[in-house]
A = this chain, B = another copy of it.
Amino acid sequence: MPEDSQTISETVHAVAEGQLSSRQWVQACLDRIRDNEDIGSWSYVDEARSLERADHMDWLRKDGSALGPLHGCPIGLKDIIEVRGMPHGCGSPLMGQVSESNAVLVDALEAAGAVIMGKTETAEFAFLNPARTKNPHSPKYSPGGSSAGSAAAVASGDVPVAIGSQTNGSVIRPASYCGIYAMKPSAGIIPRIGVFEQSPTLDQIGLFATNLEDLGLVADALSVHDSRDPHSIATPRPFCLAGVQAEPPIEPNFAIMSLPYGQLQSRASKGGFSEVADALQGRVEILEAPPTFNQLIEVQRTIHLSEIFQAFDAMGLRGNSQLSAVLSKTLAEGESISSSQYEEALMARESLAAFFDNFFEDFDAILSPSSAGEAPLLSEGHTGSPIFCTIWTLAGLPALNLPVMQGEHGLPIGLQMIGRRRDDARLLRTARWFMTTLFDEGERQCFQNR
């Protein structure tokens, strides 16, 4: 059974060498999933299929066939990602039919040798109504949302990696609350065909892992082009794993932007954040965000609500009594957005993307909190605010959660690092420099392994 601190590449190497079988790896994960049942990370686990697939991966090894970068590696998928033969739950009683086809990203993972273990819990339709999942560090707290189960499954060691999605802050926020590493690659790197569509303009795929190298490894496996997805880029992909492994040619430069919602940041987060800024000394500049940034939260909201209304209208689910109150209310708000408001918001988003293309001429990365602070209590009935992710997601920038801070209740808080669009490899290179320069080996472990 692999150590929690082992990277996926190390374990895959052990599988390739015959020191560990994929079956043992998968069985160990199935045991962990059962032990952690109370956390409620999974909506569906297919034991038989997972073991059969593991055996097949082991057979390929014995047969001398090609091995993949994720050979025999167990993976969890947010339950808005279709897998042939598995129920497509989407966190709603309205769904749950068995999928007839795979999402494109599932094919990509399987071609790399991964073992799809099952589906992880999601907030209702990847929006705001919480999943049943608890925070693995303290069961009274929320794991965040909407990719609650994926974050909790990785944080509790069920699987070394899980896939989520982010329309606003649904990857970076739960990673922050759960104390693990996460990456939301640039928009267009991972195709969304076969993933529940909430907002075609804003939906993006992300992933959770226990270290930066695993993020790079799995991001590369996911990085395929599908021209059916209008965002998917028809050009070469950044090589993320090489990014994690590279040394920056010169020490990187960071920016911290004073943002209109900065006052929402908790005291502990503020404290941790200034410690980091101090440690970076001359390598960080604090900038006032341009005044147009004040409208960006509203711009995101206009696009998001308008598109989520259109999506549910197209599915014929508008006004359905089995939708949560928060979603129903949102759909009503979305309906009231005029097409000119919507078009104007899309244009504002375009200029934001252009602004950032210039911005990253001068800086390697932006530093931001990943969330306002620690996870909210489950009893508060929400998944926490995504606002610290909104602008970067709106611009389609690649973002990482780095689990380096701690809050008033001893719960993790993440630091967010944001890079230039489609320059995901540089972001990972910068993050690795940042982590090895500022933190010792123990501090770089994700929260639960310290």
Interface, chain A (partner B; CB < 8 A): 56-57, 60, 64-69, 71, 84, 101-102, 104, 106-108, 110-113, 224-228, 232-239, 422-423, 425
Q: Given A84-B227, A101-B227, is A235 in contact with B422 using a C-beta cutoff of 8 Å?
A: no
Closest-CB distance, A277 to chain B (whole angstroms): 27
Q: How long is the Cα–Cα vector from A232 to B101 in the complex, in angstroms?
A: 13
CA distance in complex: A124, B233 (Å): 33
Max chain B C-beta neighbours (<10 A), residue from A104, A110, A225, A233? A225
| Chain B residues with CB below 8 A from A84, complex form | 227
A67 nearest in chain B by CB position:
B236
Q: Which of B56, B102, B235 contacts A235 (CB 8 A)?
A: B56
* A60-B227 in contact (CB<8A): no
B66 touches A110 (CB 8 A): no
Would you call B101 and A234 a contact (CB within 8 A)?
A: no
Tell me whether A65 and B236 are in contact (CB under 8 A).
yes
Are the CB atoms of B107 and A422 closer together than 8 Å?
no
Of the candidates A65, A71, A104, A106, the one having the most CB atoms from chain B within 10 angstroms of its own CB is A65
Q: How many copies does the complex hold?
A: 2
Instruction: Report the 7 A-B pairs with minimum CB-CB distance, sorted nearest first.
Output: A68-B236, A111-B225, A110-B234, A66-B238, A107-B225, A102-B227, A66-B236
**Nearest Cβ on chain B to A69's Cβ, whole angstroms:** 8
Q: Using CB atoms, name the residue of chain B closest to A68.
A: B236
- A426's closest neighbor in chain B, by CB? B64
The residue among A64, A69, A71, A236 with the most chain B CB atoms within 10 A of its own CB is: A236
CB distance from A361 to the nearest CB of B (A): 10
- A237 / chain B contacts, CB cutoff of 8 Å: 66, 68, 111
Shortest CB distance A372–B (Å): 34
- Contact status of A65 and B225, CB under 8 A, knowing A235-B56, A236-B60, A236-B71: no
Assess whether B227 is in contact with A66, with CB atoms less than 8 Å apart: no
Given contacts A60-B235, A68-B236, A111-B237, 19 further A-B contacts (CB under 8 A): A64-B423, A65-B238, A66-B235, A66-B237, A66-B238, A66-B425, A67-B236, A68-B235, A101-B228, A102-B227, A104-B226, A106-B227, A107-B226, A108-B224, A110-B235, A111-B233, A111-B234, A113-B235, A113-B236
CB pairs A–B below 8 angstroms (29 shown): A57-B235, A60-B235, A60-B236, A65-B235, A65-B422, A66-B235, A66-B239, A66-B422, A66-B425, A67-B236, A68-B235, A68-B237, A71-B236, A101-B228, A102-B227, A104-B226, A106-B227, A107-B225, A107-B227, A107-B234, A108-B225, A110-B225, A110-B235, A111-B224, A111-B225, A111-B236, A111-B237, A112-B236, A113-B236
